[in-house]
């Protein structure tokens, strides 16, 4: 994937995704705050109705479950998601013919809980699967390893650590945390997750980073 400048517009990126007779599952992995959801939505906007975004974060365990496990403070770490459910639904999506509905959960940041069957995937030939832990193996965290094999291709969206830090601090303060609480969440949790995710970067087919209104691709 190259261009003269090494920077592709979202339209150019979208044209590199095959829209064929078979469903194509494109993963977009990367650390928290890298812009995965934004990129997935931009690609969806370019591709139109042939594409749908299928986020991984609908597989967050419910807060009630996290409380029972004493894991509320660790929300966002690999074992605070239903990795098995995510893998099963990816497999179902692969095995289900176009035209047959597959419910997919979403995550509602306003209530901080997943919404079961938040979207229905049916006729879309391109599924943009975006989330943090798409490229992990068992060496990093158990349960996630089958994901990569269920994706046709997987990109990794990277961003410099100061950019991640600033975006995550903004998000947490906008979500109601004090500056101190936001700082603790970023240093104690988000950036530790980002370090773990970075160890999986080399398994991506392409590594992207935002550059102006486009993306630099390696
Ligand atoms: N290319 C970009 N240029 C500037 N800002 C961006 C870009 N992409 C995303 N952002 C901003 O960065 C913030 C994080 O983006 P986004 O929510 O898409 O990240 P994410 O990778 O999905 O995060 P998470 O893993 O936590 O879901 C948002 O405020 C978004 O507007
Ligand atoms: Mg996101």
pLDDT tens per residue, range 117-169: 999 999 999 999 999 999 999 999 999 999 999 999 999 999 999 999 999 99
Question: What average pLDDT is seen over the chain?
Answer: 96
Residue 1 lies in a domain: no
> How far is residue 96's CA from residue 104's CA, in Å, rounded to a whole number?
13
Residue 112 lies in a domain: yes
Can you name the residues that pair with 119 across neighbouring β-strands?
Answer: 104
Please state, in angstroms and as integers, the Cα–Cα distance from residue 68 to each residue in 65, 80, 166, 202, following that order.
5, 12, 32, 36
Stretch (H or E) spanning 56: none
Question: Is 32 near ligand 1, meaning CB less than 6 Å away?
Answer: yes
pLDDT at position 6: 86
Residue 34 lies in a domain: yes
Residue 176 lies in a domain: yes
Residue 150 lies in a domain: yes
Residue 2 reports pLDDT greater than 60:
no
The structural domain count of the chain equals 1
Question: Is 34 near ligand 1, meaning CB less than 6 Å away?
Answer: yes
DSSP letter at 12 equals: H
Q: Which domain holds residue 203?
A: 7-217
**CB–CB of 147/86 below 8 Å?**
yes
What pLDDT, in 10s, does the model give residues 56-92? 999 999 999 999 999 998 999 999 999 999 999 999 9
DSSP letter at 62 equals: P
pLDDT at position 32: 98
Residue 48 lies in a domain: yes
pLDDT at position 5: 66
Distance 158 CA to ligand 1 centre (A): 11
CATH for 171: 3.40.50.300
Residue 143 lies in a domain: yes
The separation between the first and the last C-alpha atoms of the chain, rounded to the nearest angstrom, is 8
Residue 27 lies in a domain: yes
């Amino acid at each position: 994937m190259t261009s003269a400048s090494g920077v592709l517009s979202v339209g150019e990126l979208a044209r590199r995704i095959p829209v064929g007779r078979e469903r194509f599952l494109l993963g977009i992995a990367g650390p928290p705050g890298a812009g995965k959801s934004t990129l997935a939505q931009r690609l969806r906007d370019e591709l139109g109705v042939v594409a749908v975004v299928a986020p991984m974060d609908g597989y967050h365990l419910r807060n009630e479950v996290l409380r029972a496990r004493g894991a509320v403070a660790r929300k966002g770490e690999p074992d605070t998601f239903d990795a098995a459910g995510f893998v099963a639904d990816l497999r179902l999506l692969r095995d289900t013919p176009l035209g047959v509905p597959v419910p997919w959960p979403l995550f509602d940041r306003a209530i901080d809980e997943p919404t079961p069957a938040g979207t229905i995937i049916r006729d879309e030939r391109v599924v943009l699967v975006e989330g943090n832990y798409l490229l992990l193996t068992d060496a990093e965290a158990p349960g996630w390893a089958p994901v990569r094999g269920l994706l046709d291709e997987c990109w990794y969206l990277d961003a410099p650590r100061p950019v991640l830090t600033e975006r995550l601090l903004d998000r947490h303060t906008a979500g109601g945390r004090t500056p101190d609480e936001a700082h603790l969440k970023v240093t104690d949790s988000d950036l530790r997750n980002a370090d773990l995710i970075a160890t999986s970067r080399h398994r991506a087919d392409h590594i992207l980073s935002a550059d102006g209104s486009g993306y630099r691709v390696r």
